[in-house]
Structure 1
Amino acid sequence: MKYHHHGYVSHDPRIQPAAGAGIDRPEDPPDRVDVLIVGAGPAGMIAAAQLSQFPGVVTRIVDRRSSRLEIGLADGMQKRSLETFEAFGFARRLMAEACHVTETLFWKPDPDNPANIVRVSRVDEDPQGVSEFPHLTVNHARVLDYFAEFMERAPTRMKPDYGLEFKSLSVAPEGSHPVTVTLAHTAGERAGQERVVRARYVLGCDGAHSSVRKAIGRTLHGESSNHAWGVMDLLANTDFPDIRTKCAIQSESDGNILLIPREGGFLFRLYVDLGEVAPTHDGAIRRTPVEQIIERAQRILRPYTLNVRHVAWHSVYEVGHRLCERFDDVPPDLVGTRAPRVFIAGDASHTHSAKAGQGTNASMQDGFNLGWKLGHVLEGRSPESLLATYSAERQAIGRNLIDEDRKWATQMAKGADAFASHAEFEQAYLRITEFAQGFMTQYAPSMITAPAKHQALATKLLVGKRFWSAEVMRVADANRQHLGHQARADGRWRIYVFADSARAGDESPTAALGRWLDESPESPLRGHTPADIDENAWFDVKVIYQQDHTNVDIGRVPRAFRPEVGPYRLTDLENVYAALPEDDIFARRGIDRRGAIVVVRPDQYVANVLPLEAMSDLAAFIQAFALRQR
């Protein structure tokens, strides 16, 4: 965390000075806003949190509930989400209160007594080591609390406006605030009263039955599997030995259970297989009493006992896979000719099974993807055409998620006798790991993601996929740091310069690139950053040398990697790194010893990989999405 460069700070440095929309922020939403977010769930809150970093953008988030969510229905926080939480500054705090899932245990019918179950194997939760972060289970209401804290400490001092329900909207063909939204108060003295807010853009994050989605004529397409599951959060006594470990349990004839340990040491969740349901059941399965779900779970767990003391929450659902054809309001015949004004995210745009933990996790990536794009367009950093990439990127990912989730849900619903061997079931589970952990996302080429022409220069930092962090040494103070953890959710693009083998200050491609970044009018630091703000305010540039940190003379490092910041023009020395001799990032991430430029988007996805000498290609790529400022 960097502070003091604007003067001495004695209070909590995580509380940023109020600025822009955060100065004298009105209690009620104003009549005109830049962005109106409907729904304070995972997608809406992360989008609001990202937009809270843009002081010049007036954003309000409304929710029909009268106060914060208390019981979150989602519990699994996948590794990709933890990487995202690190950018918002609360991953470590969440890890301290959450349950860490490190293994999955497999149970199946005992060959000697099939009426009983027996443990047959266990697998590591992350056998490939795809992330330094764990898989957690925690009430997702706590995640929303952390986003709310981040927003309230941001320059805009944002907080959710509870007790306001979306009623309708209309979009005018032109005007500065073309979206007219009617809201209604749901609580307090004004309950039932309506009010109108005009917005430049609207984001609907109001769930699977989204009113915003219906207002723009979008429809979820897909089907249910006609297979039902009961889900319960329980406090119970049991002699089942693995109650605090994630388990996939197959019984002989009573169905399956997915057991998920929860935070706090006592709570756990059971997904209980209720079997096939007739297409004409008319929702009767969803009224299954919790006592019946418990009884089914007790039969599946034989010979072990389950003595339920308290049910914190329960529900019944059918596995459904549904997806919208577009995630914005642009009609098919106008795609490419007009900018979107209304967007949908999260369950409003895609739904899938709960057991792979993709509802909350995928929804947050929707909101993260759109939040910075809205901020860049509204601040004049990027053209409005940038907003079209949201639907194009996230709808394709939604389709991939549903395809993979359908396979996963089918595997989980099979009986033990449907597999040739237990190993077949275990391998089916392992194949789904990358999907479940959130690392399947790979964005296609667009104005913000280049073709992977030079991928050979960084073979494990794949263009279109998330930036895979690794440890380095910060030269200035000899502190080991995860390189990716230095990127905050501040809306900045990242340019990582992996140096060639020359030493700092020697004439080399790295030195030439440093001069170009510092001096050329085509450089993002000069041509695409306003002159009256910090030179690294919009593009964060870091260099990583191949030498040991004791052999990097920081005084000879090009000035572009040592920017001057704040009103006192203080030199920032914390953007210069060195490879660790015993765990070399160049070897670990497949980076060519000739060096490479790795460009990373504000939402942590690799946008381009280029040779050090490719300054003109870097300039052309940036010009596609960044408006000139000088």
Structure 2
Amino acid sequence: MQYHTHGFNPGDPNVFAAAPGHRRAGDPLPETIDVLIAGSGPAGLCLAAQLAREPSIRTMLVEPKFGPMEKGQADGISVRSMEMFQAFGFAEKVMRESVWINETTFWAAGAESLLERVARVQDVPDGISEMPHVLLNQARVHDMFLDLMRDGPTKLEPDYGLKVVDLEIDPNAKDYPVTVTLEHTDLARLGQTTQLRANYVIGCDGARSSVRKAIGGTLHGDAAHHAWGVMDLLATTNFPDWRMKSFVRSQDAGILMVLPREGGHLVRLYVELDALGEHERVADRGMGADDIIAKAQRIFQPFKLDVKDVVWWSIYEIGHRLTDKFDDVPADQLATRTPRVMLAGDACHTHSPKAGQGMNVSMGDTFNLGWKLISVLTGRADPALLHSYSGERRAAAQGLVEFDHKWARVVGSKAPDTVTDGLPRVAREFVNNLPFTCGLTVQYEPGLLTGAQLHQHLAKGFEIGKRFHSAPVVRLADAKPMHLGHCVDADARFRLFIFAPANDTGTHGGAVDALCSWLQNDAASPICRFTATGEDIDAVIDVRAVFQQGFRALDYTAMPALLRPHVGRLGLCDYEKVFCADATRAGDIFDMRQIDRANGCIVIVRPDQYVGHILPLDARDGLSAYFANILRARS
């Protein structure tokens, strides 16, 4: 982490000096705003945390509730989300506070209909990520995003007690084309409305989204027609796997899932309740916490469950639904309009919580959107870039809905569990689905941001369109062992990783030096074209290099100037751009990611940690063309 770039910075390096001109929550409402976010769930907060870091963007987040969440809602955090949290800087805090899910067990009725453990499997496959799968109260995740917002230069905080009730878009207006009607929800001003105008509105306001309705969006799909109870509780039990993630299937009382929670004692239960009629809703049954407990006790028999305290509970029936489009632009106007209103999270896709993907996919939506909004609002990219949001994230959500359909049928099946290769069906399907539930199967199609796979063979382990699969390296300047992917911060910058060919030591005359010289000095290079005068040379595209030699075999001072840039107000040298393979410790990145040792390559990583393209080291035209499709030339 670098925090003396512009001069000595005492105190907490995560707290930025306040940028001028930004209102604080509770101040009079503005007449205009750059971005209005509706809803302070995980999608809204993930977006707000990104925007809060950009001093030039005025952001407002409205929430009808009167304060931050304290308990309940989601708790599963996939390894992909943990990688994202690393970019925000709080993955270590989450790992320290959370419970790690290392093993999953499966129970079913055995001899004399008594429950017995029928399988146990490793929850996160080896080598799939450096991050664990963890469980943590969603409220704590919210807290960490809220801290980032408050500590950022814009000092952003939610405006509680306000909700979006309607909006209108003037497609012909250049500035602030969205007129938003806000309504107060506190008793003192209940029902009072006010209006403001925004450049962009992002609806993160849940399955009953007012923003979605205002742009004519509809959730299509089916209802589950089955009630499930979820409960966070403190209890005593003789069930052996109380601190394991467990699937429990009784003979005839139904099924439940056990999810241990942070703190060593708290546990969450998902409990199958009753089937619902075609037109029946959960509320019609009048069920409560006692019904969840009683059903769980029946499923657990002959094990005992003595509930000491119920922390939170809910009964739900969630279908699998998806909206047609994640923005406001009609299909026949794509060439003439750019998005002004976009949807994220439950506002555009809903599903059951059985796969633990709701919070994770919602945050994935706005992690995809955040850097695009920043790029457009700061003038780095054309507004047409925002079209890519709906295309990329709707496809990801479609994959989730299809998976959830399949997995819900497996979990809820009443058929006998057939055993194949030593595993019952539920356990076998669980193992097959692990890459999906880890959040690692999203692959963006070739297009504006994702290149063709012509040169995929140069780095087979960095799949184009998928998330950048980090691997160990050693930083040359200080011999620090670390993960290369941890260089990708949530700062809206592209990363260009140069993997050096064999025998290239970065000195004059080598392929790395030639590429760096062109990037830094040639007017046709993307760095020269898209970095504005007065900006640091890495303000838009952050170039780093990885060499095959050990760190003792290389001379840092002989590296190209682009890899030793002088940045910030004082022109200080950045010593963190050059890395070496870590062949003696955790593994050689060139072997682990199947990088062509003879020729090396360029790997372009998007600001949201996805691989945008792979190119040969001499592909000057291809490199220029990739960025020319995304960024605006700057003077």
- TM-score for the superposition, normalised by structure 2: 0.96
Q: Where does residue 352 of structure 2 map in the other structure?
A: 353
Following superposition, the deviation at residue 24 of structure 1 comes to: 8.0
Whole-angstrom CA distance in 2 between matches of 1:310 and 1:489: 39
- Answer yes or no: is the 8 Å Cα contact 2:232–2:266 preserved in 1: yes
Q: Where does residue 37 of structure 2 map in the other structure?
A: 37
Whole-angstrom CA distance in 2 between matches of 1:282 and 1:106: 30
* Aligned amino acid, residue 62 of structure 1: V
Q: Where does residue 121 of structure 1 map in the other structure?
A: 119
Following superposition, the deviation at residue 227 of structure 1 comes to: 2.7
Following superposition, the deviation at residue 225 of structure 1 comes to: 2.7
Q: Where does residue 425 of structure 1 map in the other structure?
A: 426
SS in structure 2 opposite 1:491? coil
Q: Where does residue 164 of structure 1 map in the other structure?
A: 162
Q: Where does residue 290 of structure 2 map in the other structure?
A: 291
The answer on 1:100 being equivalent to 2:100 is yes
* Aligned amino acid, residue 335 of structure 2: G
The answer on 1:409 being equivalent to 2:413 is no
Which aligned pairs between 1:84-95 and structure 2 lie closer than 5 A? 84-95=84-95
Structure 2 CA distance for partners of 1:487 and 1:178, relative to 1, 3 Å: same
Whole-angstrom CA distance in 2 between matches of 1:25 and 1:355: 36
Percent same amino acid among aligned pairs? 45
- Answer yes or no: is the 8 Å Cα contact 2:495–2:543 preserved in 1: yes
Structure 2 CA distance for partners of 1:295 and 1:26, relative to 1, 3 Å: closer
Deviations along 1:317-354, whole A, 9 cap, x unmatched? 22410000100011122123210111110000000111
- State which of 617, 621, 627 in structure 1 corresponds to 2:622: 617
SS in structure 2 opposite 1:526? helix
* Aligned amino acid, residue 584 of structure 1: D
Q: Where does residue 544 of structure 2 map in the other structure?
A: 542
* Aligned amino acid, residue 479 of structure 1: K
Whole-angstrom CA distance in 2 between matches of 1:406 and 1:25: 41
Q: Between 196-205 and 227-236, report the one with greater CA deviation.
A: 227-236
Q: Where does residue 230 of structure 2 map in the other structure?
A: 231
SS in structure 2 opposite 1:225? coil
The answer on 1:626 being equivalent to 2:624 is no
- Answer yes or no: is the 8 Å Cα contact 1:286–1:315 preserved in 2: no
Deviations along 1:542-563, whole A, 9 cap, x unmatched? 1001100001111111111111
Q: Where does residue 567 of structure 2 map in the other structure?
A: 565
SS in structure 1 opposite 2:145? helix
- Answer yes or no: is the 8 Å Cα contact 1:250–1:415 preserved in 2: no
Following superposition, the deviation at residue 288 of structure 1 comes to: 1.8
Q: Where does residue 461 of structure 1 map in the other structure?
A: 462
Following superposition, the deviation at residue 236 of structure 1 comes to: 0.8
Which aligned pairs between 1:234-253 and structure 2 lie closer than 5 A? 234-253=233-252
Following superposition, the deviation at residue 280 of structure 1 comes to: 3.3
- Answer yes or no: is the 8 Å Cα contact 2:231–2:314 preserved in 1: yes
The answer on 1:587 being equivalent to 2:591 is yes
- Answer yes or no: is the 8 Å Cα contact 2:47–2:366 preserved in 1: yes
Following superposition, the deviation at residue 23 of structure 1 comes to: 8.1
Which aligned pairs between 1:128-277 and structure 2 lie closer than 5 A? 128-175=126-173, 176-187=175-186, 189-277=188-276
- Answer yes or no: is the 8 Å Cα contact 1:600–1:607 preserved in 2: yes
Structure 2 CA distance for partners of 1:282 and 1:271, relative to 1, 3 Å: closer
- Answer yes or no: is the 8 Å Cα contact 1:25–1:157 preserved in 2: no
Deviations along 1:240-284, whole A, 9 cap, x unmatched? 111111001111111111110111111111111124332133445
- Answer yes or no: is the 8 Å Cα contact 2:48–2:61 preserved in 1: yes
Whole-angstrom CA distance in 1 between matches of 2:64 and 2:566: 46
Structure 2 CA distance for partners of 1:106 and 1:148, relative to 1, 3 Å: same
- Answer yes or no: is the 8 Å Cα contact 1:21–1:56 preserved in 2: no
- State which of 590, 597, 608 in structure 1 corresponds to 2:602: 597
Structure 2 CA distance for partners of 1:24 and 1:408, relative to 1, 3 Å: closer
Structure 2 CA distance for partners of 1:378 and 1:286, relative to 1, 3 Å: farther
The answer on 1:7 being equivalent to 2:3 is no
Whole-angstrom CA distance in 1 between matches of 2:318 and 2:116: 27
The count of aligned residue pairs is: 628
Q: Where does residue 364 of structure 1 map in the other structure?
A: 363
Following superposition, the deviation at residue 188 of structure 1 comes to: 6.3
Following superposition, the deviation at residue 157 of structure 1 comes to: 1.4
Whole-angstrom CA distance in 2 between matches of 1:393 and 1:542: 27
Whole-angstrom CA distance in 2 between matches of 1:282 and 1:251: 25
Following superposition, the deviation at residue 25 of structure 1 comes to: 8.6
Deviations along 1:468-518, whole A, 9 cap, x unmatched? 111100000011011111221111111111111112204222111011111
SS in structure 1 opposite 2:273? strand
SS in structure 1 opposite 2:544? strand
The answer on 1:525 being equivalent to 2:551 is no
Following superposition, the deviation at residue 26 of structure 1 comes to: 8.0
Unaligned runs of 5+ in 1: none
Which aligned pairs between 1:291-330 and structure 2 lie closer than 5 A? 291-330=290-329
* Aligned amino acid, residue 583 of structure 2: P
CA RMSD after TM alignment: 1.6
Structure 2 CA distance for partners of 1:23 and 1:595, relative to 1, 3 Å: farther
- TM-score for the superposition, normalised by structure 1: 0.97
